[in-house]
Structure 1
């Protein structure tokens, strides 16, 4: 068989990288559950009309088909989900009668998106989402709570070497109220243009606002002036009010959005000081966001783009009689892990779970070695038996290459078993029914790279 060619955009980690990813997922899951979120999983495929109804483009969705021509009609109109929010909305509608609202859920799954692979962007990747959804109404305080939960989750990863994060927040009501006060009614078109600021710059965004939205030069400059406002305290609210006043912009939705954004900034300054920053250029391109919107960057790695984003949505899920508004955030786990590994920020203490390798003196002795391993393993200590009865030096090197810290030698002619710490060279008598490694050596640990 010829050497296979890797598929661009479909990451596969080596065992040490997988240990890093698993640790990140464990920390996220534990933090979400500490805050009362219940785990769910949804199917990988959704009807295309559902996937495409809220602002995503068809070229980004992988369409499902069968190889057998006669079966094609059975799978027509299905695609792999490109995020977890749209499937979650469908899940809520299908199971509303069995859920207690407000419903708090977390979901960790792979998603698929047909975009051009580049640094931190993949075609297949893992996302970790949290959402709170209500039946008929959802109080604003959840828009304050969820970014603070994410701040706690990402903050818990700093102990392994993950850089600090900045959660950038805005409120769609502020933007919509301001734009309408300027006389720009195609709010979604303005938001889509503003969302490109970091990619193409202010001059090109201004040109887009004039050419595609119909703004005049003064309106375009006003939109850019709003987008330039940022800060981590309530001075941001004062700055927006001053800008609106100077332009004679008045709108009830603007006032409502500023009150909500101010409440979020005040709460964040107490619970996560310096982590949450109001940034009025944050727009989020998807059409279904209606209130708070969030994007998160790694400090010192801003060029990677947002690793966690989301917002408030009011009309994504509705059965005609009841609307289920929600708010949620999604972490791009694969994007985060790719940067941690690619930049050499973290490492695993070893590449395998095993803490002990039981050496085999001869193949005739393998049954006894297996029995010793079973005794050690029965007490929750990960252990494996050497693959062959090679010289002990070779077996020790095999353990060392894989990061296994201890090698076990079975006693001969009534002599006691011994265990060797191959890092220090210390070798002592040991009993398989009582011996245990230090807690730090029991399982692989993920630590800062320099540790």
Structure 2
């Protein structure tokens, strides 16, 4: 019986997912990020201290457990919080700045819907340093993601970027003290619209109507170049934190325009709901699928990890792999060229010849060609049909000499299992956009 929010992909979908992960992993490593996997559980007080997550955390305890220590563990809802804990615990063993990638399941007890799950896979990169983290890492994050996702047969991605300092400095300049609440309300702009955001700012953040209108006006500013900074300054609000945030945001936008034109847009309504972000924030949309929201997000956190007098600021970004693929699977927007990894089916003339057929398959496998032997001896026509149903492109016929047949074209040639090679395009299942 299916359980809502816990996806189980069919093998063709799982093969697509693995190809996506291969691309993401390879790209992360090309940029020098090292692999890491952390435990699935964290102390509950750690999880609850990082934002509005109390309704999302899954508790972990034994069926016959007591109500003490084990009841205080929860499954992690993202990979940033456990990574911060890992850095603090292992700081003496790490070389800083520490660059890591992490591809792992996370759990959130939210209402399942298309592209949103309770158990899902994330692929994160972060850079953490001791005491201070140079700002140029903020400019690197979107470029890595643009490279990783740009090499996949998916719709074009568009990374929206903002800076919390811009928002908080602007709100301070307006005279609003509860900047965290203003951010939380403005973060709902796409979901509830400007009128309701204005109402909630007045009701929950102590804003006057004119202050709320100014917050909404700031959130409406968007540009692909540094012109957004002029638009903000024209609103007439001044604050040192606002100036600092604008300067940082300009640096990220200009770096992206140089290295990846069209990838990035400054969008001042982006806030991110988690409380640990302190500067740059990112959200990523799939072209044509904008209504589903962000499939990749993150930002700068200067205060997430600390131990005594040591502070470990960082910046990171996370691809919601299950979210992105779930949306695309739901629209049949991705296809794989065959249902199995198998490239060659070795036909079995008679059961007595299975050992010889196994030796042929082994010779092909030694050279990296995915091969299986037919499950039973049957007429060759039936064995070809078996291969065709599974999308296996080649059938190998034992004989004197052996031959191999491309069952798509009908071409059949003599072949030696120690030398024959399929075209590169057939060696592995190919993933394409539908």
TM-score, with structure 2 as normaliser: 0.98
**How far, CA to CA, are the matches of 1:260 and 1:427 in structure 2?**
62
Contact 1:363 1:389 in 2 (8 A): yes
Q: CA deviation at 1:339?
A: 2.1
Q: Which residue of 2 aligns with 1:224?
A: 216
Q: CA deviation at 1:73?
A: 4.0
**How far, CA to CA, are the matches of 1:269 and 1:164 in structure 2?**
16
Asked if 1:206 corresponds to 2:198, the answer is yes
Offset from partner CA, 1:55-114 (integer Å, 9 cap, x none): 132220110011124x56452200111000000000000110011111111100000100
Contact 2:281 2:299 in 1 (8 A): yes
**1:286 corresponds to which of 274, 288, 292:** 274
Q: Over aligned residue pairs, what C-alpha RMSD do you find?
A: 1.0
Contact 1:93 1:319 in 2 (8 A): yes
Q: Which residue of 2 aligns with 1:422?
A: 407
SS in 1 for 2:82: helix
Asked if 1:82 corresponds to 2:77, the answer is yes
Asked if 1:22 corresponds to 2:10, the answer is no
Offset from partner CA, 1:298-331 (integer Å, 9 cap, x none): 0111011100001100110000210100000011
Offset from partner CA, 1:262-292 (integer Å, 9 cap, x none): 1111111111111100001001111111000
**How far, CA to CA, are the matches of 1:175 and 1:165 in structure 2?**
25
**1:126 corresponds to which of 121, 124, 135:** 121
**1:173 corresponds to which of 165, 174, 196:** 165
Q: Which residue of 2 aligns with 1:235?
A: 227
**1:46 corresponds to which of 42, 47, 59:** 42
**How far, CA to CA, are the matches of 2:184 and 2:43 in structure 1?**
25
**How far, CA to CA, are the matches of 2:223 and 2:263 in structure 1?**
11
Contact 2:47 2:53 in 1 (8 A): no
Asked if 1:366 corresponds to 2:361, the answer is no
Gaps of 5+ in 1: none
Q: Which residue of 2 aligns with 1:34?
A: 30
**2:151 corresponds to which of 141, 145, 156:** 156
Contact 1:66 1:72 in 2 (8 A): no
Q: Which residue of 1 aligns with 2:53?
A: 57
TM-score, with structure 1 as normaliser: 0.95
Q: CA deviation at 1:399?
A: 0.4
SS in 2 for 1:11: coil
Contact 1:39 1:105 in 2 (8 A): yes
**2:309 corresponds to which of 298, 315, 321:** 321
**How far, CA to CA, are the matches of 2:106 and 2:428 in structure 1?**
29
